[in-house]
Structure 1
């Protein structure tokens, strides 16, 4: 960042304090303290300190950070589950007009984009997409790490972050990194004899995917506010708050969190089109595991006919992803293995984690069993009740499912905040939209023609069709 702003230095704690003051000045309603909006704002602000504490190098401090995140996430989950109790949702203006909100959102996007392009990248972020990037750049994350001093890669011990398993990279991430790698080649085109050029391509791939993912979230939130909620100001308010929150700045390069969150936001925007939303959630499920738990809820939301098209879109997307990975790897068995093996199944084992890698230490691991059972019961309840759901239930139920997955996931559970942050913002800002139901899906033309022909041949069917 100092290459653009001379003498600029801003640590993560300083950004935490300054953003707190800015968010309170813009969004907090001082004239009416006891508002639901103010409560939601305080809950969102309470998330970021835990994320910052977990990034500490002190093991005792990290353990307190996970405990803090566990407590705040529990309060946030209770608030989301009780969202349907607040029937009256009056329109609340922000403390800044629409022009100011637009400028704040644009300025924050530019600021964080420059930060992402200039600041060093953690090793874990490079490893998370190296599987696809190495097919383009002819390199691997290990090569980048070995040349860290000259390439702007920071060790995870120097700047703590959430470590990722290289084998846990989803097939969608591999395809996206392969596609963006072509853009990175154009950006880094220079001296063909530069021995570090393949590594630079991989680093640019990380940065470009992260920038595009954040832009997708911002544009998606803006369109949801404008088109779905019917208020452009709400869209700018959600987008600006998403970028200003410290937890977003702390995890700017977390591609495996931001990209699926962006796909879920666009699935909400296309909620009237089950094929489009099914394709988007299918892509998101190929990155991380949590969108898989959203599939039953969304299938129930669309009903019988719409749910069938939704499931068809998810299955078709999955097949296309596996085929594309097989084409890239030139090995169908490896493609199937990547598609099915990106989820860390060993994380489901009833084993304790160290205080620095999660909440479920040796003393608490036994209590994880009722947490998992409670989560499954909540998943079933939110899927089947109410029978006919509106968008007012779909958004908070989706947010509750994603937030709830943080409790039982042992490795670093509770700090994957960016994964559910856009959904929580939509819950926080949504107006009264109880009449936004899934569209009525007519039967396929082939079945309509068959039914009409059968009715003409049978008088009983004609009478039945009239009834």
Structure 2
């Protein structure tokens, strides 16, 4: 990549200032300073300095991120009370936003191919390579337990043969560094790019299909690319993958089978989507719950089968399923040895936070009884963000876990017509008219075919 952009490098502080100016120029409502959109934009931009403080002032950075995470939880919990949802025109048209999306994504590709991939991503690729060759990958043979679940290695499996073919086809004359000949490094880079592309395409389709506005989809994708946290962790595919799968669970929410497949894959990628299952079950309940549970169970069987293929005996299978889990998170032990907010405090202080987290899941699951897509999005995001408040392993740092869903809540219109439990979705109600993309704060402008 040095042949394309010689000495290309943008520091984290520089990217923060550039993204701050671009985000304000495109999304800030200068004609309505006191608006919900501006409040959400300020919250999104204000959490980024905490990531910059982590390198020089880790205590201040962790406190900053913890406080910002708490504000996001409150914002998501009260989102359903904002009944008036202004459309919120962007300060740039669709063609300009599409151009920026392509340009920034191209710079991300350059950054991925010019920096060393995250070790966790390389570990996932190596596990996928062993999966294809059916080698034992039990936790006893690994120096560190895997960060991601079996979904990551299963989805990375198609990338491994592609990277092998590219590496074998490249000649020593065209290769300038040893890393370019490493198929694991190349596969990790491809996996990171595909994970971000999966998120971007999902956000655009979400805006076009379910929000009835392609411009809103482009706006969500552009802000996802502009925010500094995306650029800082651009090579951490393991953190992007579960969020991408959850985005597509929302894209396919009208088809419980497809939504259950994506939710099952997300649960197999990281641990936190498991806490979302009661909420999603209460949403489908009498209309699609069986199909949602069945498809998710099938995905679970497939993931367990992938573990069986890489286990030489029963002990190896047990170590892959149980031994690879960091049970100190559940036991509330060992938080002081891991950098993060809770490293300065005793692990016992996380117990009341975890109890409040469980109560939050119960409340958001049973209230309101009849949920629409807006409730599902805001409650899902609230549960994911609340997980970071008690999670000891640098919890508040993992902004990519919830960023795509948070953007969907920020940009969503009124979605009163998407209540699944009342039969809308599979069997559309006749008296419900489609919502036009032209909405304002005072009233919803609806249109029908004459």
Tell me which interval the TM-score lies in, with the shorter structure as reference length: 0.7 to 0.9
- Which string of whole-angstrom CA distances, capped at 9 and with x for unpartnered residues, describes residues 409-436 of structure 1? 1111111100100000000000011111
Instruction: Tell me which residue corresponds to 2:429.
Output: none
Cα distance change, pair 305–24 in 1 and its aligned pair in 2 (3 A): closer
- Which string of whole-angstrom CA distances, capped at 9 and with x for unpartnered residues, describes residues 298-350 of structure 1? 11100135112211111111001111332344556534543445432212223
Instruction: Tell me which residue corresponds to 1:464.
Output: none
Instruction: Tell me which residue corresponds to 1:456.
Output: none
Distance in 2, matches of 1:178 and 1:72, equals 36
Equivalent position SS for 2:343: coil
Instruction: Tell me which residue corresponds to 1:39.
Output: 39
Q: Does 1:251 align with 2:233?
A: yes
Instruction: Tell me which residue corresponds to 1:51.
Output: 51
Q: Bigger shift: 321-330 or 37-46?
A: 321-330
Q: Is the 8 A contact 1:184 1:201 kept in 2?
A: yes
Q: Is the 8 A contact 1:169 1:342 kept in 2?
A: no
Q: Is the 8 A contact 2:336 2:347 kept in 1?
A: no
**TM-score under structure 2 normalisation?**
0.86
Instruction: Tell me which residue corresponds to 1:415.
Output: 397
Q: Is the 8 A contact 1:395 1:427 kept in 2?
A: yes
Instruction: Tell me which residue corresponds to 2:81.
Output: 85
Distance in 1, matches of 2:365 and 2:181, equals 45
Please point out which of 105, 108, 113 is paired with 1:112. 108
Cα distance change, pair 442–242 in 1 and its aligned pair in 2 (3 A): closer
Aligned residues: 417
Which portions of structure 1, spanning 4 or more consecutive aligned residues, are displaced by more than 6 angstroms?
Answer: 137-141, 191-199
Instruction: Tell me which residue corresponds to 2:355.
Output: 373
Equivalent position SS for 2:43: helix
Q: Is the 8 A contact 2:124 2:153 kept in 1?
A: no
**TM-score under structure 1 normalisation?**
0.83
Please point out which of 365, 385, 388 is paired with 1:383. 365
Please point out which of 165, 179, 187 is paired with 1:205. 187
Instruction: Tell me which residue corresponds to 1:184.
Output: 163
Equivalent position SS for 2:33: coil
Deviation at 1:366, TM superposition (A): 3.2
Equivalent position SS for 1:189: helix
Q: Is the 8 A contact 2:150 2:303 kept in 1?
A: yes
Deviation at 1:127, TM superposition (A): 3.0
Q: Is the 8 A contact 1:242 1:421 kept in 2?
A: yes
Structure 1: segments with no counterpart, 5+ residues: 142-163, 444-467
Distance in 1, matches of 2:203 and 2:221, equals 6
Deviation at 1:201, TM superposition (A): 0.9
Deviation at 1:190, TM superposition (A): 3.4
Distance in 2, matches of 1:375 and 1:436, equals 27
Equivalent position SS for 2:23: helix
Q: Does 1:3 align with 2:12?
A: no
Deviation at 1:12, TM superposition (A): 1.1
Q: Does 1:293 align with 2:313?
A: no
Q: Is the 8 A contact 1:23 1:244 kept in 2?
A: yes
Cα distance change, pair 23–283 in 1 and its aligned pair in 2 (3 A): same
Q: How does 1:438-453 map to 2 (within 5 A)?
A: 438=420, 440=423
Distance in 2, matches of 1:360 and 1:315, equals 35
- Which string of whole-angstrom CA distances, capped at 9 and with x for unpartnered residues, describes residues 425-453 of structure 1? 0000000111112273999xxxxxxxxxx
Q: Does 1:218 align with 2:200?
A: yes
Distance in 2, matches of 1:432 and 1:99, equals 25
Q: Is the 8 A contact 2:340 2:394 kept in 1?
A: yes
Cα distance change, pair 2–53 in 1 and its aligned pair in 2 (3 A): farther
Deviation at 1:241, TM superposition (A): 0.6
Q: Is the 8 A contact 2:62 2:340 kept in 1?
A: yes
Instruction: Tell me which residue corresponds to 1:280.
Output: 262
Equivalent position SS for 1:95: coil
Equivalent position SS for 2:407: helix
